[in-house]
Amino acid sequence: MRNSTPSEIDSVLASASAAGEMYGKLPGAARAAFLEAIASGLEALGAPLIETAMRETNLGQVRLEGERARTTGQLRMFANLIRSEQWRDIRIEEGDPSAQPRPKPDLRRTQVPLGPVAVFGASNFPLAFSVPGGDTASALAAGCPVVCKAHPSHPETSRLCADAILEAAQQTAMPEGVFGIVWGGPETGAALVKDPRIHAVGFTGSLKAGRALLDLAASRPCPIPVYAEMGSVNPVFLMEGALSARCESIAKGYADSLTLGVGQFCTNPGVVVGVANGDWERFLTLTATHLSRVEGSQMLNPSIAECYATGVSNREAHPSLEVLVSGSGSSPALFKVSGQEFLADHSLQEELFGPSGIAVECASRDEMLDVGRALEGQLTATIHFEPSDQARTAKLLAVLATKAGRLVANGFPTGVEVNSAMQHGGPYPATTDSRSTSVGTAAILRFVRPIAFQDFPAELLPGHFGL
């Protein structure tokens, strides 16, 4: 797919800007019908969509069919949400002209859409976090036109999805320009973020690219919010009682989570932490055995595969890391480091996208707490514990609650439920705004802003106030 020209990008942005006011004023039921039509359109694409995505991403049929179901499910989830106006958090304080010492004004607070949103497709989710994904669904639900920059790794998949969205817009009589797509690399993305007709950004990808977009948005004469999901190593902490009681199942669970999807998930558990003892050594041995049986698979694209291979080589050469499983190509790799050395070398916290893990061996429970305190912001943090660990777990939990957006008990972080209670976001550098989520119904709040109407007659107020 050729890159969009500057004039083509300008045309898409002009159409989105023109559609903004009209689309934002449509009733929730009309926007809901649009979202549902998109979901039906994606399903109607049938096997060709899955086959195209398989060819472009090296992902398997079962994985992609599940991802399409998640994509259509979240579109319908937002449709159900916006049929009711409850999501707007409407607050009404009725006026009282006779109040003393001065009259009390009538105040009605609600949420209104920001305006056109730029959405950046992700490499690792060609459907659920790309053209028809959660950012697009939540922005359209909020009443914001979307300009999507397709990811270059899966252009034909993106085109098929974009066509389905555009056809759904026609079927449901949406304003022209409610959705547009552009093609290109970093220069195309920069053009979107810098354009004054864009009012917010949704992004899933690397820390380097996400930070570049954040800086561009902040440097605009009128800065805009960037909701970027970036790097996370999703640490897993293993308490002593848990390892004593469930060492084998924890080792298998960790290995399975680390290698799921060739480690190409944002919730991949790239760091595991424990206190040195016999059970910890057994855990490492069992995990290494499980990992050594996993054969490498094709990664999403050659660039990602090359970065992973380079990262594993760099870890093998690192003076503080002991190689427990030596990866080659895209096969799993596991390394061990002492808690003291992990604390001294910040680079060991950097995400390596792929099935590579670092086991942090702490000399004491206090050192485990120190490792927790030293962590950067994370999407998730996990603790495995037994009742005998509860007091120590409470201390660790208090630390990790300041570091992560989702805390997992006795499980693994891969697998993100799409519902009203999910929080998929965390302190920087996991995301650029820890107050938001990119998964679940609360994601809609990224693309709206609060507004209060004071002393306006009912006929001039938005209809969703119920007047």
Phi, psi for 97 (deg, rounded to 5): -60, -20
* Angle formed at CA 248 by CA 246 and CA 249, multiple of 5 degrees: 70
Strands 179-182 vs 117-120: parallel, antiparallel or unpaired: unpaired
Q: Is 266 a catalytic residue?
A: yes
- Specify the DSSP class assigned to residue 431: B
Amino acid at 374: A
Residue 364 in tokens: 């004491």
**Of 64, 87, 67, 63, residue with least CA distance to 75:** 67
**Owner of token pair 């590579």:** 356
Cα gap 66→50, rounded to integer Å: 10
Q: Taking a C-beta distance cutoff of 8 angstroms, is the pair 24, 112 a contact?
A: yes
| Residue 76: burial class (beta carbons within 10 Å; 0-12, 13-18, 19+) | middle
**CB-side neighbour CA atoms (13 Å) of 418:** 22
Catalytic residue among 36, 56, 67, 229: 229
Cα gap 355→78, rounded to integer Å: 33
Cα gap 224→199, rounded to integer Å: 6
Q: Is 229 a catalytic residue?
A: yes
Catalytic residue among 161, 247, 266, 362: 266
Beta bridge partners of 272: 236, 359
Give the residue numbers marked as catalytic.
Answer: 229, 266
